[in-house]
Structure 1
């Protein structure tokens, strides 16, 4: 169970960071993404990243 939490947490954190980067316009990949320069996606990414960190924390405790 701990390995599953850790993997899901890491994936959530990575995806959240990608969404933050796309939402703020710092990451323009893929170039045709509808999420680029849309600040709402940076907010969604922050929430997803926080959930990922919580899962990682739970897996390591």
Structure 2
């Protein structure tokens, strides 16, 4: 049961990171983050953190 939290947080981080990246690139409009290059850097970093969290969650599920 403990593995669900890292899996959920990892997936959420990946989705948010991808969204922030495309907003920073200007593909999604209607936000203060649109065309702000800092989000092009923060987004992929969050995706990598999400991937790491997913990996840890999957490892802990296999041990159970």
Using the size of structure 1 for normalisation, the TM-score is 0.89
Partner of 1:55: 53
Q: Which blocks of at least 5 consecutive residues in structure 1 are unaligned?
A: none
How many residues are aligned here?
A: 58
- With structure 2 as the length reference, what TM-score do the two structures score? 0.85
Alignment of 1:23-34 (within 5 A): 23-28=24-29, 31=30, 33-34=31-32
Q: Return the alpha-carbon distance in structure 2 between the equivalents of residues 35 and 43 of structure 1.
A: 12
Instruction: Give the secondary structure class of the aligned counterpart of 2:27.
Output: coil
Hey, which bits of structure 1, 4+ residues long, moved more than 6 A?
A: none
